[in-house]
A = this chain, B = another copy of it.
Amino acid sequence: MEKKQNTLFVGSLAKGLRLLRAFDETHTELSLGDLAQRTGLDKSAVQRLANTLHIEGMLDKDPITRRFRPSHAWLELAYAYYWSDQLVGQAIPKLIDLSQDLGETVNLAELSGDHIIYVSRLPCKRTYFAATVIGRRLPALSTSGGRAMIATFPPEEREHAIRTWPLKVFTPQTTLDRDSIRDSINTAVRKGFAISSGQMILSEIGVACPITGPSGRAFAAVQCSVSAHLWTPERVEAEILPRLQDTANAISPSSQAHRH
């Protein structure tokens, strides 16, 4: 079978993780066959691995359909994550204040490679389900939060990100033109925040401020989403931005190292 590098690598464990990652927003319930297909693993291997994950409580098994689903243990992992991320503990009370103050949806996003990931979300109004779920990963270049963070990078890195980081179409308005993304980020460099419209969801305006530590480089951002039917970018800048910026400034990451 495929030889995975050296003796410090446990292949069976890696394969088991592939089963877990086979589940996503469109694959919520998978049979053995589905799992084999999605992971590219042998039928017997999937059988054994899935059985192990089931016994260990990582997968629920529907007794009638025999299909597997993520178990509550997946939420327990998120629980452990939250305690390990100091920034979240720092930020949560201030985000609550902000969301109550603004009456609009407030998010905490962290940089995760070339994507952002929503770590905390406080919905204040009905929105799409996808806008309420934590753990969502989006291309950093396409989000106000990502642009706000990239704007804090040194120029060469900034340019490298603009040139090479991935893009993906979400709405007809999603910008795939890297030059206009560069303009947007340059504006963020000057102004200290980023605004975007309709990138992820049509008629949605996003505004974000970076959370910068002593180094000046941001690994996280506070973001606010509002409806373009009720707001204009100008009003967002006038009414939302000041408090958003105060909140971002008040959340200073404690001195310890950050994930990269």
Point out residues on A near B: beta carbons under 8 Å: 7-10, 12-17, 20-21, 23-26, 28-29, 47-49, 51-53, 55-56, 58, 60, 62-65, 69-72, 74-85, 89, 92-93, 96-97, 100, 110, 112, 117, 119, 122-126, 129, 132-137, 257, 259
Contact = CB atoms under 8 A, between A and B. Distances in A.
A24 B76 CA distance: 9
29 contacts: A7-B48, A10-B48, A10-B49, A13-B56, A16-B17, A17-B56, A23-B80, A28-B80, A65-B257, A70-B80, A70-B81, A71-B81, A72-B110, A74-B80, A74-B81, A75-B117, A76-B117, A76-B135, A76-B137, A77-B77, A77-B78, A79-B136, A82-B133, A92-B129, A93-B126, A96-B123, A96-B124, A96-B125, A122-B122
Copy count, this protein chain: 2
Contact of A60 (B72, B82, B129, B259): B259
Contacts of A85: 70
A69 B47 contact: no
The list of the 3 closest CB pairs from A to B, nearest first, reads A79-B135, A78-B78, A75-B135
B83 A28 contact: yes
Contact of A8 (B48, B64, B72): B48
A52 to B, nearest CB: 5
